[in-house]
Amino acid sequence: MRTPGTAIAAFALLSALVFGCASQQASAPAARVSPNSAAAAEPFDPGGIGAIEARTPRGDASYVTLASVHIVAKQRGDMAEVEATHAFTNDSDAVLEGTFRFPMPDGALLTGLAMMIDGKLMEGELVEREKARKVFEAVVDSMQDPALLEWEHGSVFKMRVFPINPREPKVVTIRYLMPLRRSQDKLEFVQAARAVAGDTSLPDLRIDFEGKTVFNERNVEAGRVLAFPAKPTSPVLREKRSDGAYSVVRISPDWSHIPLSARPAPQNWFVVVDTSRSALEEQPRQLEALAVVLRALPARARFQVLTSDLETRPSPQGLVAANSASVEEALTFVKAVSPDGASDIGRALHIVSGLAHDVPDSAVLYLGDCEPTWGLTTAKDLLALENRELPRIPVYAMMFGSSIDDDLAAELAEQSGGRRARIQRRQDLDAFAQTLGTGIPVLRGIEVRGAADVQVLTSGPLSIEQGRDLLLLVKAPAGRDPLIGLSVKAKVGGATLDLMPHAAAEDSGGVARRFGAALVHQLEKTDRPGPDIVAASLKYGVMSKLTSFLVLESEEAYARYAIERKNAQAADAPRVTGANLEDTRGTAISADRVQPGDPEIYVDAERDALSVTVEFPSGEIKAASFDSEVRGGLGAWMVRFLVAREAPEGDYDALAHIQHQDGSIETKKVHYTVDNTAPELRVTMTRSARQLGMLEVTVTEPDAGRRSDLKRVELMTPNGRVYQLTAVRWGTFRVFIPAGELRGGKLRVVGFDQALNHTVKELELP
């Protein structure tokens, strides 16, 4: 039963793979579909659209209807800062429970969550996992509606959504940083329209990129992949914060100047096919890939197939020459095994070591998700086993599925001299298969050095495979340039090659968060104590295996459970009241104290800009200051200002003048609204049909509909207790109050709009 109080909400992210999905032509001029353009680039999964799988009271599984999706993306160097808002509806007459899943893009960093609870969109908070569980249990004990987001495995998270009330909207907003796709030396923001719910079309999709609506269509086909051009960016990005100076450096060697020769391809291949339960969904793709790679082996090559789950089963044929008959026999052997059980990769490597012991010129080719769930499950133990039992035998990994361990695959390949690839499209498969016969250049033995007080993290092993880049994530003390003293070199043919890009640093948001994500990942890999991982996760606002996202239904609820707020409710578009603001500085409006505050305008500009000023239509110029706490911790330049009481209502433009570090001045428009009209309020009270002994108090702004800008409503009962009402739809707010509190005296109701105009109504109670 739904009762008043604190409700916790959380969500699940499931990176879904659609192998070989068709792309169709987008009609928006700025968007283009790219079924083949990324063939020469690294495989990149752009994610997709989320879905809620719900269960009816009878236990039937169904999907709650997705009404619309609104994607808002801004470029941050070679990344995009994305806000994806999903609006769902429950078209049944039953209260449903469901699970929200969202296919995250490759390389994305989850940075925020908001969810609608009782009609009010509440911002989430990152919390240490054990504390989150205790709050969860406390809510269960008090018969509330609990939900909790936690890491499950790989890139999979789960969020229980309850209640999904009939005929009411359920809105979920997630925020993340994702890489821009590199295609033919250009950057693109890519969005896929596919959903984990299947191949159904998307009713309404809108995409805003860099402040412009670049796509807005209904009934969008699930196979569509949309790409929008982004501006070029420097290989060196930087961000300055009070806790340090951060940089991202992209190392991209000029292969035309590197005299490397690929070593000959191995002649004896031991092919391990993952047949654990997690491979069930990907089995058709793995079988297709197995056939392709076996037929692509070099002339005179031999192979033996092994299936791997809890046990490892070598095919009885032993090493055989690669021909049509042996390939068909190998496929039949694998098809006879029904995927089941866990994945013991260590066992598979051990069995291969015995088979390859007396077979020179051997290699291991692995097909699966590279996620060990049985036996040796840590990278440290598996790398030690590989080094001990498979010396000089390269490991090649082909990864499939929505949840993969790319880090383990990269380390196994790097240590042994092999390669790895994530297979998402047929062209990825063909490209990888071709290299098995010819080899591919890899630049190894890269040395990275920095100053003693500079911390340098990498995106992977210190090697670069042709067609890939290496990222360095650097942190220096505040006020220092992280790149001073940083060197990146490799020895090639006795000569030392300088790999450090000689390019001017570009200011960009999200750099510190990317460093934080790399730090969390390094701490997890090196088995550092849990408190260290949690501290890094919370400091940089990136999720880890030991932290969870929570959404509570009110700011008071966060305080009740002693959860520090870093992501308080986001400010709405700036509006200005006609009230005299010169001698009031507070911002609180409540049923017992009404005090409007100074309105604000935010200006997007780099943190280290020399100055930011805003010129108003009256000619007045105000200086802005940088506030690192606003916009969910992303920060922005902010200016507070006043307007005359007699200023006409309407939308206004002001000019923001930004003086950059290089002395150049940029001018851009900023917008604000003058609103002097207080909202009209209608108050009704009825006995609650759902909650015995409670009165339902509803406050509406009549005839406003979606034009309503009623933002907050509070009431004070005769005994002095103040309640905050929750929004249930546009211009409608509701609260349940014990009937005994609404007897005798006055009920005081206060409602205010986006501009802090307010209306007070007092009702005599019987």
* Cis peptide preceding 163, ω within 30 of 0: yes
How many CA atoms lie within 13 Å of 174's alpha carbon, on the beta-carbon side? 30
Predicted pLDDT at 577: 42
- By C-alpha distance, which of 119, 239, 116, 117 is closest to 171? 116
- Higher pLDDT residue, 329 or 545? 329
% of the chain at pLDDT higher than 70: 81
Q: Which residues contact 264 (CB under 8 A, 6 or more apart)?
A: 439
Dihedral angle sign, alpha carbons of residues 131, 136, 142, 144: positive
**Count of C-beta atoms within a 10 Å radius of residue 562:** 8
- Measured between its terminal Cα atoms, the distance across the chain in Å is 30
Q: Tens digits of per-residue pLDDT, 220-253?
A: 988 788 999 999 999 999 999 989 999 999 998 8
Question: Would you state the torsion angle of the CA atoms of residues 295, 298, 301, 302, taken in this order, to the nearest 10 degrees?
Answer: -30
Which three-class secondary structure state does DSSP give residue 490? strand
Query: At residue 753, does pLDDT exceed 60?
Result: yes
**Count of C-beta atoms within a 10 Å radius of residue 503:** 12
Provide the pLDDT confidence category of residue 417 given band limits of 50, 70 and 90.
confident
Provide the pLDDT confidence category of residue 151 given band limits of 50, 70 and 90.
low
Predicted pLDDT at 632: 53
Query: At residue 37, does pLDDT exceed 60?
Result: no
Q: How far is residue 47's CA from residue 196's CA, in Å, rounded to a whole number?
A: 10
CA-based angle 47:50:54, to the nearest 5?
Answer: 150
**Count of C-beta atoms within a 10 Å radius of residue 636:** 21
- DSSP per-residue string spanning 116-142: EETTEEEE-EEEEHHHHHHHHHHHHHT
Q: How far is residue 167's CA from residue 31's CA, in Å, rounded to a whole number?
A: 34
Cβ–Cβ under 8 Å, residues 308 and 275 = yes
Dihedral angle sign, alpha carbons of residues 110, 473, 471, 529: negative
How many CA atoms lie within 13 Å of 538's alpha carbon, on the beta-carbon side? 19
Q: Tens digits of per-residue pLDDT, 473-507?
A: 999 999 889 999 899 998 887 788 899 998 999 99
Q: How far is residue 159's CA from residue 169's CA, in Å, rounded to a whole number?
A: 17
Query: At residue 197, does pLDDT exceed 70?
Result: no
Q: Tens digits of per-residue pLDDT, 499-547?
A: 999 899 999 999 999 999 999 988 987 778 888 999 999 999 988 888 8
- By C-alpha distance, which of 754, 540, 568, 726 is closest to 114? 568
Written as six digits, the tokens of 56 are 């009816």
According to DSSP, the residues that pair with 302 across neighbouring strands are 268, 321
Picking from 367-376, 516-525, 630-639, which range would have the lowest pLDDT averaged per residue?
630-639
Q: 742 phi and psi, to 5 degrees?
A: -115, 55
Q: How far is residue 706's CA from residue 668's CA, in Å, rounded to a whole number?
A: 29
Predicted pLDDT at 504: 92
Q: How far is residue 186's CA from residue 511's CA, in Å, rounded to a whole number?
A: 20
- DSSP per-residue string spanning 545-565: TTEEEEB-SSHHHHHHTTPPP
Strand order in the sheet with 51-55: 61-63, 51-55, 96-101, 156-164, 150-153
- By C-alpha distance, which of 84, 116, 174, 144 is closest to 729? 116
Q: Which residues contact 353 (CB under 8 A, 6 or more apart)?
A: 389, 390, 393
Burial (Cβ within 10 Å: 0-12, 13-18, ≥19) of residue 231 = exposed
Picking from 76-85, 150-159, 589-598, which range would have the lowest pLDDT averaged per residue?
589-598
Query: At residue 174, does pLDDT exceed 50?
Result: yes
Predicted pLDDT at 594: 38
Provide the pLDDT confidence category of residue 693 given band limits of 50, 70 and 90.
confident
% of the chain at pLDDT higher than 90: 30
Q: Tens digits of per-residue pLDDT, 331-343?
A: 999 999 988 888 9
Predicted pLDDT at 26: 35
Provide the pLDDT confidence category of residue 586 given band limits of 50, 70 and 90.
very low
Predicted pLDDT at 508: 93
Average pLDDT of the chain?
80
Cβ–Cβ under 8 Å, residues 569 and 727 = no
Helix H, strand E, coil C: the string for 139-208 is HHHCCCCCCCCEEEECCEEEEEEEEECCCCEEEEEEEEEEECEEECCEEEEEEECCECCECCCEEEEEEE
Cβ–Cβ under 8 Å, residues 455 and 475 = yes
According to DSSP, the residues that pair with 226 across neighbouring strands are 191
Predicted pLDDT at 139: 60
Cβ–Cβ under 8 Å, residues 51 and 200 = no
User: Which DSSP category does 509 fall into?
Assistant: T
- Higher pLDDT residue, 424 or 398? 398
- Specify the pairing of strand 506-507 against strand 236-241: parallel
Helix H, strand E, coil C: the string for 597-635 is CCCEEEECCCCCCCEEEEECCCCCEEECEEECCCHHHCC
**Count of C-beta atoms within a 10 Å radius of residue 389:** 17
Cβ–Cβ under 8 Å, residues 684 and 631 = no
- By C-alpha distance, which of 543, 497, 81 is closest to 255? 497
Q: How far is residue 762's CA from residue 724's CA, in Å, rounded to a whole number?
A: 16
Provide the pLDDT confidence category of residue 570 given band limits of 50, 70 and 90.
very low
Provide the pLDDT confidence category of residue 208 given band limits of 50, 70 and 90.
very high
- Higher pLDDT residue, 656 or 424? 656
Predicted pLDDT at 31: 37
Q: Tens digits of per-residue pLDDT, 270-324?
A: 999 999 988 888 889 999 999 999 998 887 899 999 999 999 999 998 999 999 9
**Count of C-beta atoms within a 10 Å radius of residue 355:** 17
Cβ–Cβ under 8 Å, residues 72 and 208 = yes
Dihedral angle sign, alpha carbons of residues 735, 741, 747, 750: negative
